[in-house]
């Protein structure tokens, strides 16, 4: 049954493409090409004379949430898209057609178990904004606080499940038949995306994300995060403080208010790197529809972010690896970049460092000392992709959210302040973080964090040594060595008495080696037997 639903969905996608005059995509991708003629009889929502950007936007809206999110992601990349298409796709950020207010009210009342009028002093039926997963209404609490009420779209779970099945089918075919399938890991990429998009369907999770980000930036002069009203939050309903600000995409209004655009752009870069490296918790859906500017003090503008359904984190290993790559890139240390890729296992172990270093240098060197406006990241990305193909660099699915966020940040920066020196702004933040991780302050922090364990171990040490001494004096120390090899030795000892001497010698050697290994794996015991050596040296032992 699931396979049939996937097949029908793939056919439905083609029907929508043909409906909006986008069937050239079918020809180019060879996606069920023989069947495309069956759809030419279907009514077209827009003829081919309508602007192509409008037809693409309408097709994505009709195809559903996952496709809308794709349109949102690329709408900020005006270096990749013609202006008319970028303008149309930008409407997907907060201008998706809303669903009826009656449905929203029914969902809210079902969540609370009481009428909307009993919960809110005022509930505005006209949506403030509508997106692919949910839509937002304004309201006032009984206490007089102005809030927004976010409500999941009805039936959105079924839509997403269906489209994920389509993506998984296509990814499976790619993994099996595509020459780059193993390296690009399409199935793992879909799994990572599935985890992310399903998290968006639980608004309690979004509320928790919002609260965490607010704690991280408490008292910040650069970013404001709205308050969450937990008593009114449910899995399908989120209530939080209403934000008043200018959309980041309204550059004319920001300039008219005298906003310091350069400071705003530089703060945006610092906020991003602070989230990724200092907090390891970053807003991963930073399209313009989710970012506002508070400019009551135009010289010190502050960002206000909303919609924290998608957040990202990195493992300590990925975080450290990424920071070292960034720093090596800023320092133009291409040998270090190549070495990091090989050490991480992202490229085959037999890869020559000098060849990878030369390839990265060829791509990256031309873009230094240039403002954002003069850098064609589209060309850089394409050239890096070719380098990745040549050296069999594997895609890292856990990095997808970060890549997506970087994509959005760069697109926003290009719109906001094209003269931004990205490298100059980001480098001090990264350098400071690395110093905190590996410098003397970091060592002191780690020692301080482990002091309770050190104290407990020292407290128990005299008792343990006394107990071991008593056992040794009474001859009660035994080593229990269990392995197939030793069992074989015991059998030979029973049947070959004449070789007792040599077998005993062998067993003694094994026991002696085990004693060394055992003492070596217990630092407190090795320290005691060697007569001290200093508590500091013991604590610092890895």
Which of 438, 465, 499 terminates a domain? The answer is 438
d(C-alpha 145, C-alpha 133), whole Å? 25
pLDDT one digit per residue (tens) for the chain, 542 residues: 556 666 677 777 777 777 887 766 555 444 444 455 555 555 555 556 788 888 888 888 888 777 777 777 667 656 556 778 878 887 876 667 899 999 999 999 999 999 999 999 999 999 998 888 899 999 999 999 999 999 999 988 888 887 787 777 777 777 776 666 666 667 776 777 777 777 888 999 999 999 999 999 999 999 999 999 999 999 999 999 999 999 998 999 999 999 999 899 889 888 988 898 889 898 888 778 889 999 999 999 999 999 998 888 888 878 887 788 778 877 888 898 888 878 877 777 788 889 888 988 888 887 766 665 666 554 565 566 567 667 776 656 556 667 667 767 777 777 788 777 766 777 787 778 777 776 556 556 556 666 677 666 777 777 777 777 777 777 666 655 555 555 665 666 566 544 444 434 444 333 333 333 333 333 332 322 223 333 222 223 33
| Same domain flag for 172 and 87 | no
**DSSP one-letter string for 149-189:** EEEEPTTHHHHHHHHHHHHHHHHHHHHHH-TTHHHH-HHHH
| Same domain flag for 294 and 429 | yes
| Same domain flag for 463 and 512 | yes
| Same domain flag for 415 and 504 | no
**pTM given for the model:** 0.67
Give me the pLDDT at residue 292, please: 95
| Same domain flag for 182 and 285 | no
| Same domain flag for 379 and 503 | no
Residue 526 lies in a domain: yes
Residue 224 lies in a domain: no
| Same domain flag for 392 and 447 | no
Dihedral of CA atoms 78, 82, 83, 85 in degrees, nearest 10, equals -100
Task: Provide the domain limits for residue 177.
Answer: 157-197
Which of 405, 438, 471 terminates a domain? The answer is 438
| Same domain flag for 384 and 478 | no
Which of 403, 438, 473 terminates a domain? The answer is 438
Residue 142 lies in a domain: no
Residue 140 lies in a domain: no
Contacts with 228 (C-beta within 8 Å, 6 or more apart), sequence order? 207, 210, 211, 214, 238, 239, 240, 241
| Same domain flag for 163 and 309 | no
| Same domain flag for 433 and 446 | no
Give me the pLDDT at residue 501, please: 41
| Same domain flag for 434 and 445 | no
| Same domain flag for 298 and 410 | yes
Residue 319 lies in a domain: yes
Residue 487 lies in a domain: yes
Q: At what angle do helices 353-364 and 334-344 cross, to 10 degrees?
A: 130
User: Is the Cβ–Cβ distance between 411 and 76 less than 8 Å?
Assistant: yes
Give me the pLDDT at residue 378, please: 47
Give me the pLDDT at residue 40, please: 53
d(C-alpha 395, C-alpha 217), whole Å? 32
Residue 144 lies in a domain: no
Indicate which residues carry an active-site annotation.
285
Question: Total domain count for the chain?
Answer: 4
Give me the pLDDT at residue 123, please: 97
User: Is the Cβ–Cβ distance between 318 and 428 less than 8 Å?
Assistant: no
Residue 382 lies in a domain: yes
d(C-alpha 70, C-alpha 184), whole Å? 19
């Amino acid at each position: 049954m699931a396979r049939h639903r996937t097949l029908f969905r793939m056919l439905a996608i083609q029907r929508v493409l043909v409906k909006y005059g986008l069937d050239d995509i079918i020809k180019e991708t060879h996606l069920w090409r023989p069947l495309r003629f069956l759809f030419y009889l279907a009514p077209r929502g827009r003829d081919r004379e309508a602007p192509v950007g409008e037809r693409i936007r309408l097709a994505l809206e009709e195809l559903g949430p996952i496709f809308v999110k794709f349109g949102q992601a690329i709408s900020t990349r005006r270096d990749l898209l013609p202006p008319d298409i970028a303008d149309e796709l930008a409407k997907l950020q907060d201008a998706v057609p809303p669903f009826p207010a009656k449905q929203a009210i029914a969902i809210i009342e079902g969540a609370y178990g009481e009428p909307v009028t009993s919960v809110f002093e005022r509930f505005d039926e006209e949506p403030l904004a509508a997106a692919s997963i949910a839509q937002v209404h304004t309201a006032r609490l009984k206490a007089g606080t102005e809030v927004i009420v976010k409500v999941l779209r009805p039936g959105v779970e079924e839509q997403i499940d269906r489209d994920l099945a389509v993506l998984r089918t296509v990814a499976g075919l790619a993994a099996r038949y595509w020459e780059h399938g193993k390296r690009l890991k399409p199935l793992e990429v879909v799994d990572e995306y599935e985890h992310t998009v399903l998290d968006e369907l639980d608004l309690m999770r979004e509320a928790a994300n919002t609260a965490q980000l607010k704690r991280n930036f408490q008292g910040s002069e650069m970013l404001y995060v709205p308050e969450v009203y937990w008593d009114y939050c449910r899995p399908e309903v989120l209530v939080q403080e209403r934000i008043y600000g200018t959309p980041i995409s309204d550059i004319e209004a920001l300039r008219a208010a005298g906003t310091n655009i350069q400071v705003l752009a530089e703060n945006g870069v610092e906020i991003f790197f602070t989230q990724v490296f200092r907090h390891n918790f970053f807003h991963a859906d930073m399209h313009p529809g989710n970012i506002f500017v508070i400019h009551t003090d135009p010289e010190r503008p502050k960002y206000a972010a909303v919609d924290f359904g998608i957040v990202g984190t990195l493992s300590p290993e990925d975080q450290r690896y990424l920071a070292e790559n960034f720093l090596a890139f800023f320092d133009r240390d291409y040998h270090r970049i190549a070495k990091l890729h090989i050490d991480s296992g992202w490229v085959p172990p037999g890869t020559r460092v000098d060849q990878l270093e030369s390839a990265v240098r060829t791509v990256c060197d031309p873009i230094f000392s240039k403002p954002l406006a003069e850098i064609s990241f589209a060309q850089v990305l394409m050239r890096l992709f070719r380098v990745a193909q040549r050296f069999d660099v594997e895609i890292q699915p856990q990095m997808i959210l970060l890549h997506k966020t970087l994509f959005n940040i760069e697109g926003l920066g290009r719109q906001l302040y094209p003269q931004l020196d990205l490298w100059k702004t980001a480098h001090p933040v990264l350098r400071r973080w690395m110093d905190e991780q590996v410098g003397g302050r970091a060592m002191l922090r780690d020692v301080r964090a482990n002091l309770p364990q050190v104290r407990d171990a020292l407290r128990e040490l005299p008792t343990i040594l006394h107990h071991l001494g008593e056992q040794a004096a009474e001859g009660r120390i035994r080593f229990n060595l269990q392995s197939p090899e030793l069992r074989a030795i015991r059998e030979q000892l029973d049947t070959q008495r004449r070789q007792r001497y040599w077998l005993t010698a062998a067993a003694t050697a094994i026991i002696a080696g085990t004693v060394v290994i055992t003492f070596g794996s217990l630092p407190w015991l090795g320290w005691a037997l060697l007569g001290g050596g200093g508590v500091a040296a013991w604590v610092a032992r890895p």
